[in-house]
Chain A
């Protein structure tokens, strides 16, 4: 998950815990960090310690490099574009939704307002992407 908001990261982590899901979670704080991780740069040079994720939860509004740019770069990279990217953001702007799908985003979710709703979302994401949908190996 890429999100600059500490509490959102915390709440998401909590939601997964509440839902009793044992997916392994990694967090980064902005687009640049996300790309570093995916390209195994800097702190993330150890491939074994930092495997490519099966799913990316991406916030749109982040400092340094925001989600929109990061999305474009990921989907332009032949080695990375296969990874499903789920936008998870506070913005419900029509423009952001359209642009995200246009740039190759796989889903767009508006961050739910209540925690219980967040739990449901997390459960749904898990069920959909890891049980229903087939991902490339």
Chain B
């Protein structure tokens, strides 16, 4: 197209492609832009191909001639790429338009989605999370001990409503149980306090009683000691002066006088022996020594050595079987067996050689105790006296039959009892006697130590008394 300065189209040029020939017709336009005249343009086309910035160029020179008038030459420079570029450009434009459209729609969708999510979150929060939070608070307050709770849920799904109801029910149950537990606890506390009170009272009573007993025990022992000790002195005088009388003035006495004299002397001698034994008996606990392991077999062997003379004289036979080691006061245990064996020798059957058997009886059911038997074949005694023989100064025979003060077995029993054991006797007249001594296999040394302390205190009091 050719325009004039004011923009009016002067030349309307149209081209139509016909292989490589370009027929150009040009129309002259009138003032109304209507084609006035058609001019055929010279087909002199110079096509130059060239490159401008990489673009293929087509240069077309067209001479404009009308009826002998030479108007001029129009040079067309066509660039292939331009077109392509233009096409590209239009494509791109279209693409970018498309992209823009896409972007817009995507943003729109995203916006929509966001809104949806926001709305969804908000409703989730309101419908589910907030009620759940309320329920959580309730459960927390239940676990921290609140008894009464109420849950108000609005607009919550039925499941949550059921849940809150269930929680309320659970809370009620828990409160109920708590209440009964508390009651029980209170009862128990009360009962416990009462019991403790009673125990305290009883313990105090017991303690008082024990103290009283201990005191009276101590007093008794002191009394026995002092009595026997102080009784010795006049006795000594009686004996001494009886002796003097006998030797100095014996000649002046007739046979009856001498007889009386002798009986007096014998009596005072017996009294002295009695007092000595009583003294000895009373000291079995005050002068007791601490416990230590005592091998019974070797201890009894020593006792037999001490009694050797008497054993030989009586043609006695003594069997000692395997004996255990016990925790005991060695001196006292020695005395125990000395007394028992002495007795067995003393109370022999006339014309029958004494046979004494000492052995340990194993008892499967009685592992807490050692059971030691001292069995003789002497005169025996009637079972109705089986307790009496252990009494103080108790004798079953007259003085003329068998000598002795009747203290031997009392001392045995006291010794055995001090060791937390027991001693019993079984017998048949004419056949012999069996003594059974039970020793605990374990001594409670704690109690012994306590006793030792008391004994030592008692000892101190004695020598000052």
Contacts and interface: CB of A to CB of B under 8 A. Distances in A.
B240 A114 contact: yes
Nearest to A93: B463
A115 B463 contact: no
B89 to A, nearest CB: 137
Which one of B236, B237, B272 has the highest number of Cβ atoms from chain A below 10 Å of its Cβ?
B236
Contacts of B243: 114-116
A116 B269 CA distance: 14
A114 B247 CA distance: 12
Interface in A61-104: 90, 93, 95-96
A5 to B, nearest CB: 8
A95 B243 CA distance: 31
What DSSP secondary structure best describes chain A's contact surface?
helix
A20 to B, nearest CB: 14
Nearest to B463: A95
What DSSP secondary structure best describes chain B's contact surface?
helix
B244 A14 contact: yes
Contacts of A118: 240
Contact of A11 (B232, B233, B240, B463): B240
Which one of A5, A18, A96, A113 has the highest number of Cβ atoms from chain B below 10 Å of its Cβ?
A113
A40 interface: no
A9 interface: no
B244 A115 contact: yes
Contacts of A114: 239-240, 243
A11 to B, nearest CB: 5
Contacts of B233: 5, 90
- Interface size classification for chain A: 10 to 19
A24 interface: no
Contacts of A90: 232-233, 236
Interface string B230-271: 001100110111011001000000000000000000000000
B244 A113 contact: no
A69 B260 CA distance: 44
- Interface size classification for chain B: 10 to 19
Interface in A87-137: 90, 93, 95-96, 111, 113-116, 118
Which one of A90, A93, A114 has the highest number of Cβ atoms from chain B below 10 Å of its Cβ?
A114
Given A93-B463, A95-B463, A115 B237 contact: no
A111 B240 CA distance: 11
Interface string B107-131: 0000000000000000000000000
Contacts of A116: 243
Nearest to B236: A113
Interface in B198-244: 232-233, 236-237, 239-241, 243-244
Contacts of B239: 113-115
Contacts of A7: 237, 240-241
A109 to B, nearest CB: 14
Nearest to A7: B237
Interface in A1-24: 5, 7, 11, 14, 18
B272 A113 contact: yes
B243 to A, nearest CB: 4
A8 to B, nearest CB: 8
A114 B236 CA distance: 7
Interface in B448-465: 463
Nearest to A99: B463
Contacts of A14: 244
A118 B463 CA distance: 26
Given A18-B247, A115-B244, A115-B247, 15 more contacts: A5-B233, A7-B240, A7-B241, A11-B240, A11-B241, A11-B244, A14-B244, A90-B236, A95-B463, A96-B463, A113-B239, A114-B239, A114-B240, A115-B240, A116-B243
17 contacts: A5-B233, A7-B237, A7-B240, A7-B241, A11-B241, A11-B244, A14-B244, A18-B247, A90-B232, A93-B463, A95-B463, A111-B236, A113-B272, A114-B239, A115-B240, A115-B241, A115-B247
Closest 3 CB pairs of A and B: A115-B243, A115-B240, A7-B237
